[in-house]
């Protein structure tokens, strides 16, 4: 009997205890790739993370101890695989610099997928209020390209769990039932995706030569909606028309500036993501 996994690229995933990283590891194993996860020592003593690690280990993921701050552990892990996928949080995106150096030194990686998984950083700018959110990701792209490391960039727009449960209403955890704020004229469309779908899509690219050294965009037609369309669907569902307040681009900019001065817990990043709907 032929072992399908012997024909598949070996994949190292960094960030397997995160939401997307966990889904990436499951998708990789599910697609019969020999799968490895780089895990910090501290994760094994964290109850929530250790539960995920046990699940992945039982599923067939090989867990390797190491960190993005330890070049030796990075090189050791990288030499075991063909592909590296990084899914660390966006605020730590520059921590990939040592990883890129390790990939270059190891010299065996045929594909690197850096931690992006959002809007295309080369095409996104949010009024200089994003704390260099996109410029840092673009900086990592330029470093990868300068080192001539084979890559694929995954651009998947918005994860559903961040904005869709509240119908793009900052501070709410469920859709509004009385009044709603519309940003701009409500006609700009956004793409909403699930992490599990993004993970499956990402894993499908690793052995596909068509995706080498390209930015790929995940835009399922059934996942593309404007705010007006989302509101119409919700109003139909609850059998009630909501009171709507429209916020102009300039008004939203002022609100974002106010949020920057007095941040609301749990709303980090929501302001400039919502700005994309104006």
Q: How far apart are CA 206 and CA 111, in angstroms?
A: 7
| First and final C-alpha spacing in the chain | 56
Q: Which of 137, 173, 255, 257 is catalytic?
A: 137
Q: Say which residues have a Cβ less than 8 Å from residue 136's Cβ, sequence separation at least 6.
A: 93, 94, 121
Q: Dihedral of the CA atoms 248, 168, 224, 29 (nearest 10)?
A: 140
For the chain, the residue count is: 278
For helices 19-30 and 195-205, give the axis angle rounded to 10 degrees: 50
**224-226 and 189-193 strand pairing:** antiparallel
26 is catalytic: no
* CA 125 to chain CA centroid, nearest Å: 17
Q: Say which residues have a Cβ less than 8 Å from residue 71's Cβ, sequence separation at least 6.
A: 98, 101, 102, 105
Q: How far apart are CA 3 and CA 178, in angstroms?
A: 57
Active-site positions? 137
């Amino acid at each position: 009997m032929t072992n399908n996994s012997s024909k598949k690229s070996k994949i190292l995933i960094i960030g397997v205890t995160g939401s997307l990283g966990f889904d990436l590891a499951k998708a990789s194993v599910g697609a019969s790739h020999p799968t490895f996860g780089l895990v910090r020592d501290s994760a094994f003593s964290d109850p929530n993370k250790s539960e995920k690690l046990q699940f992945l280990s039982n599923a067939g993921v090989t867990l390797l101890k190491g960190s993005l701050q330890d070049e030796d552990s990075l090189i050791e892990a990288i030499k075991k695989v063909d592909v590296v996928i990084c899914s660390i949080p966006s605020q730590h995106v520059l921590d990939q610099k040592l990883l890129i150096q390790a990939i270059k030194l190891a010299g065996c990686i045929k594909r690197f997928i850096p931690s992006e998984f959002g809007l295309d950083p080369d095409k996104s700018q949010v009024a200089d209020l994003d704390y260099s959110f996109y410029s840092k990701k673009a900086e990592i792209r330029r470093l990868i390209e300068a080192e001539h490391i084979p890559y694929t960039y995954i651009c998947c727009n918005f994860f559903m769990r961040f904005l869709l449960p509240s119908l793009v209403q900052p501070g709410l955890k469920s859709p509004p039932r009385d009044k709603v704020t519309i940003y701009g004229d409500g006609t700009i469309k956004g793409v909403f995706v699930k992490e599990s779908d993004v993970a499956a899509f990402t894993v499908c690219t690793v052995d596909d030569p068509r995706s080498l050294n390209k930015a790929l965009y995940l835009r399922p037609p059934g996942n593309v909606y404007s705010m007006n369309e989302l509101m119409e669907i919700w109003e139909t569902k609850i059998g009630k028309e909501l009171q709507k307040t429209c916020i102009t681009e300039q008004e939203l900019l002022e609100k974002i500036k106010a949020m920057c001065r007095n941040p609301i817990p749990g709303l980090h990043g929501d302001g400039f993501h919502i700005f994309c709907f104006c």
